[in-house]
Amino acid sequence: MSRVLRALVRSGGLGEVYKTEADYHNGLVIINISNPVAPTCTGTYDTAGIAVDVAVSGSYTYVADRDNGLVIVDISEPAAPTFTGSYDTAGFAQGVAISGSYAYIADRDNGLVIVDISEPAAPTFTGSYDTAGDAYGVAISGSYAYIADGGNGLVIINISNPVAPTLAGSYDTVGYVQGVAVSGSYAYVVDARDGLVIVDISNPAAPTLAGCYDTAGVAQGVAVSGSYAYVADWWNGLVILRMNASGTDLIPPVLTIISPTNGASIANDTITITGTASDTSGIASLTVNDALASGAADWSTWSAEVTLTEGPNTITAVATDNAGNQNTTTITVYLGSTSTLSIGSANAPPNSIITIPVSVANAINISGISFELLYNSSVVIVSSVSANESFTGSSITPNIDNVNGITNIVLTNSNLISASAEIPVIDIAFNITGESGSSASLNLQNVEFSDAEFNPYTPAVVVDGMITVGIKDDFNGNGRVDVGGGGGSSGGGGSSGEDFYNIVLSETDRQSIFKNSDVSFIFDLEDNIVRHINFTALKSAGTVAAKVEILNNASTLVSTPPPNKVYKNLNIWVGNAGWATKRNIADVTVVFTVDKSWINENNIDESSIALYRYSDDTWHKLITRKIAEDANSLQFEAETPRFSPFAVTGKGGEGEPGGEGIVAQPTATAEKTPVPTPTEKEGIPGFSLFAGLSVLLIAMQLLRKKK
């Protein structure tokens, strides 16, 4: 819901109270909430962009309209809001706040933009400050603007001179910040990793942590009223938090687990956990896995016994101070040491290049990985080694010796690597030099992990891989190779293999993938017909990229043209090669649009419009349904099992010639029997058997005639 309703602002006069909301693709929506039990829609104004935030001042609503910049709407008549003026920023307007005669816009990669709105019909640029991160939200208090700056945390900007704003201070949170609210001497920051983070801003030049609360979801928006903070927590819905009424002690205790270290492998099933705790108001209680620990009177040192089970074990210590503030520290240890390093396996054609991931699993806070990779250099050679983009802060040092078939690899990561499910950390590109039918084992030797304190240890499980050359059945039919052992990718999906000159447009969206969550990739570019890619994640995979390539002609990765009249040719890739399979995702749909002008100009039967997917040298018609319509276009939704080259096509009406593409042809017949177009769910059961019997019967008939 937080991706659709990013902002709600209350306003109103006598007798009636309204909420204006930024409703994503629907623009501005005004709702009468005089009766909260039965709110009603009063008026709407559909902006040209994507409305993601809104602020109200007087008779005007100011909409952050993403790639359309700032849009100003007159709401003096709530039932009939009208356009007043606009200012198109250089970036993507993600947030907006109003103070005096200025609008302060969080303009994503363009930082803070200040616009003079003293003349709402003709807003003008005043000043800007380009932050180091991606500005997603903004709040104003006094002479300061507080920016939710993505991976850069909270940024405080002095706006006493709007023409030349300057940096006042900053506080870098652990995760990714997308929203901020200010109340009194505190900034309330929503952090995708740590939930609500409360920052003391009494000294803007040196903000400090005041408190935090880790919500169960992914915090994306926040509003503060009185003693309560209201957090939009993505799939976890709305979370309401009560702050300390006195306002004097919001600082949680300091809590540390000393032993064992995070990610340690344990031989015995009973261990002693030790640590320290302190707080200015004193520690009231300390528990480990919900059981009271033992320790010194002031809890400066403490210990607890914990019984482990085979595999990973989570150990959670909670300290509560006398003011009611809590701090939680969690580590994971492994009984029997199940931490794993694995390299994928793949089939590849001769003279090709293939990238295979090296993945980790069941390991926490890895600061480094080192190993030797052994391979048959007469079949494959290593062309490059790179850190997977899923992890920021990674650096890698490879020593490639293709003469002897040995590559030494050392990876370090300043942000530490944690993985329960298998996720890729290193990408190794191989040149295939062997002939069809040859193979090369990929052997991992002398493997070591380093924990958060840089102590080396050996993972319990090491899984080798193999590259087999030239087995056609293991290709997608589109030039890409399925690689085992891979996860998501925060990059752009890598090189798709499409001819550069055939690509009209390429657009990438990235989403965080969590187990059992509904994932929606959203695409905004005007010439991209794909609006959404939706699926249910069966496993967590970190940040994954989805890429859409709109093409001039049929993909250069296919051998036959699509069937029927083609509207658009395109490629869709999600994650690393081999990740987007039924093991990792389910219920996959692609939402796309078709212009009515194309339908009318080509006399297209609307019911024949479908999305086709190319695989196994065949175009497969996907289950496609119309789901929406506006004045200019139709919107369709199609089900697909995988990602590859696609085409949107339709059949012409009477007198309109059909296409030339091959959907499915029998291998040999005397008289060609029409073959139904398969929908790529299960294919056509028994088709191979039917075709074989047809050939056999025809051969028998010819023999009889000869006799």
Least confident of 79-88, 205-214, 588-597, 668-677: 668-677
Is 126 within a domain?
yes
Q: Report the 10 Å Cβ neighbour count for 33.
A: 17
- The pLDDT of residue 486 is 36
Domain stop point among 440, 456, 474: 474
Q: Residue 571 sits in which domain range?
A: 500-650
Is 698 within a domain?
no
Rounded to whole angstroms, the Cα distance separating 345 from 485 reads 7
Q: Judge if 116 and 167 occupy the same domain.
A: yes
Q: Judge if 198 and 320 occupy the same domain.
A: no
Indicate which CATH number applies to the domain containing 318: 2.60.40.10
Assess whether pLDDT exceeds 80 at residue 690: no
Q: Judge if 384 and 260 occupy the same domain.
A: no
Q: Judge if 587 and 470 occupy the same domain.
A: no
- Spacing of C-alpha 479 from chain mean position: 25
Is 554 within a domain?
yes
- The pLDDT of residue 22 is 52
Q: Judge if 329 and 382 occupy the same domain.
A: no
Indicate which CATH number applies to the domain containing 463: 2.60.40.680
Q: Judge if 283 and 225 occupy the same domain.
A: no
Domain stop point among 614, 633, 650: 650
Mean pLDDT of the chain: 81
Is 638 within a domain?
yes
Least confident of 48-57, 294-303, 413-422, 690-699: 690-699
* Distances, alpha carbon 667 to alpha carbons 231, 438, 673, 694, in Å: 61, 29, 11, 10
Is 312 within a domain?
yes
Q: Judge if 458 and 309 occupy the same domain.
A: no
Q: Judge if 547 and 523 occupy the same domain.
A: yes
Residue 480: band (very low, low, confident or very high) from pLDDT cuts 50, 70, 90:
very low
Number of structural domains the chain divides into: 4
Q: Judge if 349 and 327 occupy the same domain.
A: no
**226-283 per-position pLDDT tens digit:** 778 889 888 888 888 877 644 456 678 899 999 998 877 776 788 999 999 998 778 8
Rounded to whole angstroms, the Cα distance separating 232 from 178 reads 11
Percent pLDDT > 90 in the chain is 46
Indicate which CATH number applies to the domain containing 534: 2.60.220
Is 33 within a domain?
yes
**14-67 per-position pLDDT tens digit:** 334 444 555 456 688 888 887 877 888 889 999 988 889 999 999 999 999 998
Indicate which CATH number applies to the domain containing 113: 2.120.10.30
Q: Judge if 167 and 265 occupy the same domain.
A: no
**411-444 per-position pLDDT tens digit:** 887 777 776 667 888 999 999 999 888 888 999 9
- Tokens linked to 271: 């261990």
Burial class (CB in 10 A: 0-12, 13-18, 19+), 400: middle
Q: Judge if 155 and 280 occupy the same domain.
A: no
Is 688 within a domain?
no
- The pLDDT of residue 70 is 95
Go through the chain and tell me how many residues it has.
707
Is 487 within a domain?
no
DSSP per position, 648-680: EEE-B-TT-------S---S--SSPPP-PPPBT
Q: Judge if 545 and 566 occupy the same domain.
A: yes
Domain stop point among 198, 217, 242: 242
Least confident of 245-259, 323-337, 561-575: 245-259
